[in-house]
Amino acid sequence: MKQQETKKNNQKKPPVHRIKSVVPGSIAEEMEIESGDILLSVNGQTIEDIFDYHYLTDDEDVLLLVQKANGEEWELEIEKEYDEDIGLVFENGLMDDYKSCTNHCIFCFIDQMPKGMRDTLYFKDDDSRLSFLQGNYVTLTNMKDRDIERIIHYHLAPINVSVHTTNPTLRCEMLRNRFAGDALKKIDVLSEAGIEMNGQIVLCKGINDGAELERSIGDLTQFIPQMRSLSVVPVGLTKYREGLYPLKPFDKEDAISVLDTIHRWQEECYQKYGTHFVHAGDEWYLLADMELPEEDRYDGYLQLENGVGMLRLLMEEFEEALQAYRQDAAANKTSRPKREVTFVTGMLAAPFLTVLAQKCTEVFPEVTAHVVPIRNDFFGERITVSGLITGQDILAQLKGKNLGDALYLPINMLRSGECVLLDDITTDALSDALQVPVDIVKSSGQSLLDAMVGEP
């Protein structure tokens, strides 16, 4: 009897799906659902997580059971368009506990972070639901058969997979997980079920490059078209690697070799499958001092969030927006007020932004846009992307400088939905310390040009 009670007590309690907010003008608002209400079931079925919720609420006829703050239970019948969102935002975005990573990867960026930062930055997620919802990459190592079955049943796609290598033994060594090699078999299962995927290889010098990279790309081409794309990005190395696996940075010669491999496979894949399939992160081209590929080579920018094609897309959008501004100025014979502004970015994108700023000045001589690359003293100079720039580095390198009428930060420097940088320094604090208005630029060429010329 005691054993049964212990087993019962150890069972996971079903999550409480408390509603955080309701989207204005949505079906939920019309149904008078409010913040603090609890979703009990959809179509008579209890909800385990966000997978269940999305699947069951996609229908045209939906029955919700909601518990109000006073304990009353409301049964709400909803008729809507297929796929139309009901408008509920839950306190827990996954409607369940987040799954943490079970690996100990030799290249893990979180292991290379200094102590004393906010707790959320140290959480290692490896959750397939975040892959579906937010584009996160997962290693498949902590996914059970039931997780795969649910993905297939709900036909959730695309799933983004951190492959790193298709050599099972090497993958176990790189992820430091004895199950990592077997986890690769789940790609076969997902592919056979028609689930679309994107793959990623974080390349480590002398480990999964060279012949191993050739093998991995070749192995993964067999999953085309279900595997839509594969990105190859260089490992990020901070200065906080004491006691960690000895990894070496890539140099220019390495980058040229990696790009030669990728370009050769792109040509072969395009001839065979009509897709370039494998793509190099923008960093490789900068390190190799080579021009970025033309837009068509990116196959629709399938891996933008992984740093693949971001600079090319920015340049294309900027040129298009500038052409529209040029035509408008010529037609209306208008000029712009004198304006001087400063844009900060990482070392990676600075040369490209400088070229775009010069193009803007050629069309509008009254506009002066300075581009200031911020050296990453916090994580180390090998980290060159803007998304890992801290407020303290900006303050230290810009203090006392004439920044013009405004200082602009790219939106990827900020915590999602907030005006707070990686080290918890706010944009208001930056503005006060530097004595200049601080504004944010969204990640598009149009937004960048609007900021340069002063369009709201």
Tokens coding 36: 């603090």
Same domain for 317 and 370, yes or no, is yes
Provide CB contacts within 8 A for 190, sequence distance 6+. Answer: 148, 151, 152, 159, 197, 226
Dihedral sign from CA coordinates of 82, 84, 87, 90: positive
Q: What is the CATH classification number for the domain harbouring 350?
A: 3.40.50
Tokens coding 29: 């608002």
| Alpha carbon separation from 97 to 13, 66, 126, 129, 397 (Å, rounded) | 11, 21, 12, 11, 41
Same domain for 198 and 62, yes or no, is no
Same domain for 297 and 213, yes or no, is yes
Same domain for 80 and 117, yes or no, is no
Q: What pLDDT does 443 receive?
A: 86
Neighbours of 410 (CB within 10 A): 21
Q: Is residue 127 part of a domain?
A: yes
Same domain for 210 and 260, yes or no, is yes
Provide CB contacts within 8 A for 354, sequence distance 6+. Answer: 371
Neighbours of 121 (CB within 10 A): 11
Same domain for 297 and 324, yes or no, is no
End-to-end CA distance of the chain: 70
Same domain for 283 and 420, yes or no, is no
Q: Which of 252, 283, 307 is the last residue of a domain?
A: 307
Q: What pLDDT does 52 receive?
A: 79
Is 47 within 8 Å of 77 (Cβ atoms)? Answer: no
Q: Which of 290, 307, 324 is the last residue of a domain?
A: 307
Same domain for 172 and 273, yes or no, is yes
Digit-by-digit pLDDT tens for the chain (456 residues) are 444 444 444 455 667 899 999 999 999 999 999 999 999 999 998 888 777 788 788 889 999 999 998 999 999 999 989 878 899 888 877 665 666 677 889 998 888 888 877 666 655 555 445 445 555 788 888 888 888 898 898 888 888 899 999 999 999 999 999 999 999 999 999 999 999 999 999 999 999 999 999 999 999 999 999 999 999 999 999 999 989 999 999 999 999 999 999 999 999 999 999 999 999 999 999 999 999 999 999 999 999 988 899 999 999 999 999 999 888 877 777 677 899 999 999 998 899 999 999 999 999 999 999 999 999 999 999 999 998 999 999 999 999 999 999 999 999 999 877 899 989 999 999 999 999 999 999 989 999 999 999 987
Same domain for 116 and 242, yes or no, is yes
Is 139 within 8 Å of 181 (Cβ atoms)? Answer: no
Q: Is residue 131 part of a domain?
A: yes
Which single residue is written with the structure tokens 């846009």? Answer: 369
Q: Is residue 184 part of a domain?
A: yes
| Alpha carbon separation from 155 to 8, 57, 167, 215 (Å, rounded) | 33, 15, 28, 29
Q: Quickly list DSSP for 55-88.
A: HHHTSSEEEEEEE-TTS-EEEEEEE--TT----E
The closest alpha carbon to 395, from 417, 420, 365, 427, belongs to 427
Distance CA 438, CA 354 (A): 19
Distance CA 420, CA 428 (A): 9
Quick one: how many helices (H) and strands (E) in the chain? 16, 14
Same domain for 322 and 448, yes or no, is yes
Burial of 8 (C-beta count, 10 Å sphere; 0-12/13-18/19+): exposed
Same domain for 136 and 78, yes or no, is no
pTM of the prediction?
Answer: 0.82
Q: Which of 260, 287, 307 is the last residue of a domain?
A: 307
Q: Is residue 98 part of a domain?
A: no
Same domain for 131 and 249, yes or no, is yes
Q: What is the CATH classification number for the domain harbouring 34?
A: 2.30.42.10
Q: What is the CATH classification number for the domain harbouring 143?
A: 3.80.30
Q: Is residue 245 part of a domain?
A: yes
Q: Quickly list DSSP for 321-345.
A: HHHHHHHHHHHHT-----EEEEEEE
Neighbours of 174 (CB within 10 A): 23
Burial of 91 (C-beta count, 10 Å sphere; 0-12/13-18/19+): middle
Neighbours of 400 (CB within 10 A): 7
Strands 17-22 and 88-90: antiparallel
The beta-carbon contacts of 450-456 under 8 Å, at least 24 apart in sequence, are 450/321, 451/341, 451/343, 451/408, 452/341, 452/343, 452/357, 452/360, 452/367, 452/369, 453/325, 453/336, 453/339, 453/360, 453/364, 453/367, 454/336, 454/337, 454/339, 454/341, 454/367
Q: What pLDDT does 150 receive?
A: 84
Structural domain boundaries, residue 199: 110-307
Phi, psi for 131 (deg, rounded to 5)? -65, -45
Q: Is residue 333 part of a domain?
A: yes
Q: Name the strand (E) or helix (H) holding 360.
A: helix 350-363
Q: Is residue 4 part of a domain?
A: no
The closest alpha carbon to 102, from 164, 155, 179, 14, belongs to 179
Total domains in the fold of the chain: 3
Q: Is residue 95 part of a domain?
A: no
